[in-house]
Amino acid sequence: MTVVFFFGIVAVFFYGSIVWTGYMSLTRSTLMPNYNFVGFDQYIKLFTNHRWLVSCLNMVIFGVLYIVGTLAFGTLLAVFADRRIRAESLFRTIFLYPLAVSLIVTGLSWRWVLDPVNGLQGLVRGMGWENFTFDWLTDPDRAIYTLVIAGIWHSAGLIMVIILAGLRGVDEDLWKAIRMEGIPLWRAYLQVIFPGMRPVVASCVVLLMSDVIRGYDLVIAMTKGGPGIATEMPAKFAVDYYFARVNLGLASAASIAMLVLSLLLLAPYFYSEFRRRT
Amino acid sequence: MSSVSIRKIRKSFAGLTVLDSVDMEIAPGEFIVILGPSGCGKSTLLNVIAGLDDCESGQIVIDAVDVSGLEPSQRGLAMVFQSYALFPAMTVRRNLSFGMEVAGTPKPTIVQKVDWVAKLLQIEALLDRKPGQLSGGQRQRVAIGRALVRSSSICLFDEPLSNLDAKLRAETRVELKQLHETLKSTMIYVTHDQIEAMTMADRVAVMHKGRVEQFAPPQSIYEKPASLFVAGFVGSPAMNLLEGSLDGAGRFLVGQRSIGSSAYPFEDPSTAGEAVLGIRCEDIDVVEPGSPDSIPAKLAFTELLGADALGWFDCLGKRMSVRLGVDAARSMRKEVGLRFDMAKASFFSASTERRL
Amino acid sequence: MTRSLPGERSVFGPRAARLGLYAFLFASAAFFLLPLLLVISNSLKPMEEIRQGNLLALPVKPTFDAWLTAWKSACTGLECGGVRPGLWNSIKITVPAVVISTLAGALNGYALAQWKSRHANLIMLLVMVGLFIPYQAMLYPTVKILSSLSLFRTYSGIILVHVVYGLPYTTLLFRNFYVGVPEEISRAARMEGASFLRTFRSVILPLSTNILVVVAILQFTGIWNDYLLGLIFAGNDNLPMTVQLTNIVNNARGSASPNVNMAAAVITAIPTLIVYFLSGRYFVRGIAAGAVKG
């Protein structure tokens, strides 16, 4: 009974809310909900909205670089940590601690480190290289990359731990077979070990994807979407239109668009997961 | 065909001796089974031969070449693993060809060899599947195929059948034996299953606590175990063992009783002192109580095994097994006499546990 | 039996390669430590050293002045009480939310693991999808639901939101754990006549100490570090630390004093860092368990 009660709450909160949001996205609600059905008007507005389109583009750029970068860096760390290094647990502790730090503090810290005046650029200039320039944070074309750096900093340890757990689970006989066949190490990892860990890598990608789509805190702390709208993201777009710009219909449409995107990206994963288990 | 010499291999791990000066000379084309309980060092020995484990001292010599310092892939060996260790994301074909590909073997040769192995092991139909889509037995064949495709003259097996069900294991056993006869390569096979050892081996090395207890053809391992350990480990049911002492004048004394031991082929018939008599269940006859040279015994129970039966008797303070015909077992009386065939018995020194 | 590593002798054996390996590891460690160390070191500097603008320099005259200001008197807008009220708010929110969402997740996870039918699979799917739903798609209706219960921008409201939003995650973690617990244990308890809840409380919970700790740690980190939900649902009297921190940093009126901002950031990060360093192994295990969802 209690259990049904809990599932009921979750169902109402989650799926009820989604239906409600979906419905509002089809209305002309602004400050207050307005239940007059206007079809897909809000979606048309949304996808002709310059700021939304920039947000989406930013999300794609950030997402691709962040996912690829975090996976590559985290995997490299895992592979090296698996090579019987000294002080493995010390290194692991260092690599993983950013995950315990909130994205707000992460964003602020990197904002200070990369600050053109007081941060790295000022520092290097102060050391004599007057022409040294590292002002990505305030460069509209490059600010998005600073988010990528901070994001990788935050999540690489997570990927390392997951991949490392996968590597530790590899059958020892498989390593022996690799040695017997005289397969060089890099080929062993790329062609035997990692392909065999596909489910693990897939869960990593899924985790990182959900970070990207939900990504809000990091942007708020680091760039607030700026300079200009150079680092706007869909999650921020939706929250801004819900609460600051009070345009419920448009915000709901943006949220539903995000939801649909997540589901589309997740569908292959869920499909294969469920097929694997049944 | 290659010969393998294992010379004075020693290895310890965390203060524990894993291999204690192991010596073995393996002739070209021999099928050698290394048999022992888990933890006896047999798998470690195989890994040392393969080069997967380092040893502290000693040499591995293949065809008069010392390979001790060489990488596994340079030793000209192939190996089949207990868990098969197939490359998970590759098709069977790729599993077979990958090693050659890495080694830079020309394409046509690879194709030819893969075809040859696939035909030999009848896995042609599986070539384009992935390991995940194969049954245990099929994976086993592919693992063997991956070892054979390298045309190594020596093939190592690390308990390759232990993950198969009983029926498949029996079939694969026969096939492996036939394969050996076809290929005539040298095979070294590690197992804890004595049936595999008895049926396949030219010679069996029984290992215990890092030492080779006996290295001999299977039948002599069974009939003339070199030590108490071998006597107890090989054979089912285990050999009957009786503690007593030899008087050096042709009698073996157990408590108040004595058994004539002059039929036993002692090296030195005057050997005396504490000893253990070992006798197989089929080397004991059931006779009328009180017959000459017999020892009184009391039937405890019988087990019918289908083709024959085992009678369990209380005799000289021990429970002993005797192989019986099914009819004899059914009509067995309570009080009987047992007569031991001393020509086929074994005597071990109680102190050294070696055969006398 | 020792673990045999491939290519130990050949590939990473040569000293040069081994050196390269460590060089990479140390460079990575520097990358991960840099921001934290910079922020800590600068938070300990007095204002005149900050003005010299050398971010990397260690504080010459270390002082906790900036920390004190950040703690007690930095302005978050109209009020100037530092992050102290935020810390208390965060504790007040996090502790009950962690306890409730963890225990409820354990109960749900156990029920889900026990329940074997076609529907159970469907529910699993719904719960798993729930993990990945962007909050934005639920925010406004949640606001409306809470308003109608007069819980919007209240203390109980923010706890309820954290519990509900955290349930899919905790449920899944527990379910994955309980699927691995032999069914015979529950069946034996049933045979003894114990009810479902009784079985859960007396037999299953005592088995679950490890996973309880793991989930509680993950939930603690997650809820403490939350920003968005606190901003929207907590209300002005209960704003958590993360929100107070951004208010201090972004405060238009306050004179920009980086050392105070940095001190506030460090203070905000300290609780989760303490939990992380104290619980290292559990944290790692939890992540590994949570990663393989389903």
| Per-residue pLDDT, C1 | 34
Is pLDDT of A48 > 60?
yes
| Per-residue pLDDT, B107 | 92
Quote the mean pLDDT of chain C: 82
Q: Scanning the structure block, which residue is given the tokens 């969402």?
A: C101
Residue A201: which residues within 8 A CB-CB, separation 6 or more?
A71, A163, A166, A194
Per the model's pLDDT, the better-predicted residue between B12 and A1 turns out to be B12
Is there a domain that residue B103 lies in? Answer: yes
Is pLDDT of C12 > 60?
no
Could you tell me if B248 and B279 lie in one domain? yes
Is pLDDT of C251 > 80?
no
| Per-residue pLDDT, A65 | 96
Please report which confidence band the pLDDT of residue A2 belongs to, taking 50, 70 and 90 as the band edges.
Answer: low
Mean per-residue pLDDT, A57-66? 94
Please report which confidence band the pLDDT of residue C11 belongs to, taking 50, 70 and 90 as the band edges.
Answer: very low
Could you tell me if B132 and B72 lie in one domain? yes
Range A49-277 classified under CATH 1.10.3720.10: yes
DSSP at A105: H
Mean per-residue pLDDT, B32-48? 92
Neighbours of chain A (3+ CB pairs under 8 A): B, C
| Per-residue pLDDT, C274 | 92
Is there a domain that residue B354 lies in? Answer: no
- Closest CA–CA distance from residue B284 to any residue of chain C (Å): 43
Is pLDDT of B71 > 80?
yes
Which tokens in the block code for residue A237?
Answer: 């777009």
- Using the beta-carbon criterion (under 8 Å), do C136 and A235 form an inter-chain contact? yes
Determine phi and psi for B312, rounding to 5 degrees.
Answer: -105, 120
Please report which confidence band the pLDDT of residue C113 belongs to, taking 50, 70 and 90 as the band edges.
Answer: confident
Which tokens in the block code for residue B39?
Answer: 């933890």
pLDDT one-digit tens code per residue, C120-147: 777 788 888 888 888 888 888 888 888 8
For chain B, percent of residues with pLDDT exceeding 90? 54
Q: Which fold has domain C85-251+269-291?
A: MetI-like fold (1.10.3720)
Is pLDDT of C9 > 60?
no
Percent of chain A that is helix, strand, coil (3-state, to 5)? 75, 0, 25
| Per-residue pLDDT, C97 | 94
Is there a domain that residue B242 lies in? Answer: yes
- Using the beta-carbon criterion (under 8 Å), do A213 and C134 form an inter-chain contact? yes
HEC secondary structure over C239-292? CCHHHHHHHHHHCCCCCCCHHHHHHHHHHHHHHHHHHHHHHHHHHHHHHHHHHC
Q: Which of B11, B40, B49, B54 to mutate to test the interface with C (most CBs of C within 10 A)?
A: B54
Per the model's pLDDT, the better-predicted residue between B31 and C192 turns out to be B31
Q: Cβ(C157)–Cβ(C235) under 8 Å?
A: yes
| Per-residue pLDDT, B213 | 93
Query: DSSP characters for C60-104?
Result: SS--SHHHHIIIII--SSS---TTHHHHHHHHHHHHHHHHHHHHH
Which tokens in the block code for residue A157?
Answer: 């340890």
| Per-residue pLDDT, C185 | 86
Could you tell me if B151 and B242 lie in one domain? no
Could you tell me if B135 and B249 lie in one domain? no
Is pLDDT of C279 > 80?
yes
| Per-residue pLDDT, C67 | 85
Residue of A nearest to C125 (CA): A270
Residue B15: which residues within 8 A CB-CB, separation 6 or more?
none
* Structural domain for B104, as ranges: 4-232
Is there a domain that residue B227 lies in? Answer: yes
Length of chain C: 294
Find the DSSP H helices in chain B. 42-50, 92-103, 107-121, 136-148, 166-183, 194-200, 218-223, 228-233, 326-330
End residue of a domain, out of B212, B232, B252: B232
Question: Which H or E run contains A181?
Answer: none
- In chain C, where are the structural domains located? 15-63, 85-251+269-291
Mean per-residue pLDDT, C269-293? 77
Measured between CB atoms, does A182 come within 8 Å of chain B?
yes
Q: Cβ(C74)–Cβ(C80) under 8 Å?
A: yes
Measured between CB atoms, does B47 come within 8 Å of chain A?
yes
Is pLDDT of C6 > 60?
no
- Using the beta-carbon criterion (under 8 Å), do A181 and B73 form an inter-chain contact? yes
DSSP β-bridge partners for residue B9? B22
Is there a domain that residue B355 lies in? Answer: no
Quote the mean pLDDT of chain B: 90
Tell me which chain A residues have a C-beta less than 8 angstroms from the C-beta of C28: 73, 77, 91, 95
Is pLDDT of C100 > 60?
yes
Tell me which chain B residues have a C-beta less than 8 angstroms from the C-beta of A195: 88-90
Mean per-residue pLDDT, B326-350? 90
CA B225 distance to own-chain centroid = 12
| Distance (Å, whole) CA B34 – CA B9 | 15
Tell me which chain A residues have a C-beta less than 8 angstroms from the C-beta of B90: 191-192, 195
Per the model's pLDDT, the better-predicted residue between B194 and A117 turns out to be B194
End residue of a domain, out of B209, B232, B255: B232
Could you tell me if B329 and B180 lie in one domain? no
Give the CATH number of the domain where residue B36 resides: 3.40.50.300
pLDDT one-digit tens code per residue, B93-102: 999 999 898 8
Residue B53 is nearest to which of C4, C9, C10, comparing CB atoms? C4
For chain A, percent of residues with pLDDT exceeding 90? 28
| Distance (Å, whole) CA B22 – CA B45 | 9
Residue of C nearest to B40 (CA): C1
**Nearest residue to A248 (alpha-carbon basis) of C205, C241, C139, B215:** C139
| Distance (Å, whole) CA A25 – CA C160 | 26
Residue C220: which residues within 8 A CB-CB, separation 6 or more?
C94, C98, C272, C275
Could you tell me if B248 and B180 lie in one domain? no
Which tokens in the block code for residue A228?
Answer: 């200009």
Measured between CB atoms, does C206 come within 8 Å of chain A?
no
Residue A17 is nearest to which of C34, C137, C262, comparing CB atoms? C137
Q: Please give the tally of structural domains in chain B.
A: 2
Could you tell me if B180 and B71 lie in one domain? yes
Measured between CB atoms, does B47 come within 8 Å of chain C?
yes
Among the residue ranges A75-84, C11-20, C214-223, the one predicted with the least confidence is C11-20
- Using the beta-carbon criterion (under 8 Å), do B71 and C2 form an inter-chain contact? no
**Nearest residue to B92 (alpha-carbon basis) of B50, B35, B135, B41:** B135
End residue of a domain, out of B202, B232, B262: B232
| Per-residue pLDDT, C4 | 42
Residue C4 is nearest to which of B13, B52, B71, comparing CB atoms? B52
Question: Which H or E run contains A35?
Answer: none
- Using the beta-carbon criterion (under 8 Å), do B44 and C1 form an inter-chain contact? yes
Measured between CB atoms, does C155 come within 8 Å of chain A?
no
Measured between CB atoms, does C27 come within 8 Å of chain A?
no
Q: What is the ipTM of this complex?
A: 0.85
| Per-residue pLDDT, C14 | 66
Please report which confidence band the pLDDT of residue B249 belongs to, taking 50, 70 and 90 as the band edges.
Answer: confident
Mean per-residue pLDDT, C169-183? 86
Residue A173 is nearest to which of B51, B74, B82, comparing CB atoms? B82
pLDDT one-digit tens code per residue, A168-216: 888 889 999 999 888 888 899 999 999 888 888 888 898 898 889 888 8
Is pLDDT of C33 > 90?
yes
For chain A, percent of residues with pLDDT exceeding 70? 98
| Per-residue pLDDT, C29 | 93
- Using the beta-carbon criterion (under 8 Å), do C265 and A235 form an inter-chain contact? no
| Per-residue pLDDT, B42 | 92
Is pLDDT of B238 > 80?
yes
pLDDT one-digit tens code per residue, B160-205: 998 888 888 998 999 999 999 988 899 999 999 999 999 999 999 9
Length of chain B: 356
Residue C2 is nearest to which of B13, B43, B71, comparing CB atoms? B13
Tell me which chain B residues have a C-beta less than 8 angstroms from the C-beta of C4: 47, 52-53
Could you tell me if B86 and B120 lie in one domain? yes
- Using the beta-carbon criterion (under 8 Å), do A171 and B50 form an inter-chain contact? no
